[in-house]
Amino acid sequence: MVPTAYYILLSAALFAIGVLGVLVRRNAMVVFMSVELMLNAANLALVTFARERLSVDGQVLVFFVITVAAAEVAVGLALLVAIFRTKRTADVDEVSTLRG
């Protein structure tokens, strides 16, 4: 069997790549995708620990994360569309005012 640490290291690498995407990229869509990547990395770690402990609770938590992520993506993309309607850009640097 594959040791737990391998999965955790892969999860850590994916999470770090997601963080890099949020920090470096300016296209709001790609920033959003990076957030999804981080959620997936956390899911992978949760499933790994559930397998290690032979406890299904970790898998239930991943199930909740996936459903809440679906809701988050729907609202987030609606927000992006609303921002794009007013600002005509998806660059996060351009969206710097609090006015609507």
Partner 1 sequence: MDLALFLIAGAVALIGAVAMLMARNAVHSALFLLLNFAAIAVLFLLLQSPFLFAIQLTVYAGAIMVLFLFVVMLLGAEQVEDTPDRIAWQRPLGLLLGLALLAVAVIAGLRTGTTPLPGGEAVATFGNPASLGALLFTRYMLPFQITGVILLIAVIGVVVLNQRGRQSAESGQATGD
Scan residues 5-44 and list those touching partner 1 (CB under 8 A).
5-21, 23-30, 32-34, 36-37, 40, 43-44
The conformation of residue 32, written as its DSSP 8-state character, comes to H
The answer to whether the beta carbons of residues 19 and 71 sit under 8 Å apart is no
- Cα–Cα distance measured from residue 49 to residue 40, given in angstroms and rounded to the nearest whole number: 14
Interface with partner 1: number of residues (CB under 8 A): 73
- Cα–Cα distance measured from residue 87 to residue 72, given in angstroms and rounded to the nearest whole number: 22
CB of 74: closest distance to partner 1 in angstroms?
A: 5
Q: Which residues in 49-78 contact partner 1 (CB under 8 A)?
A: 50-52, 54, 56-57, 59-60, 62-64, 66-75, 77-78
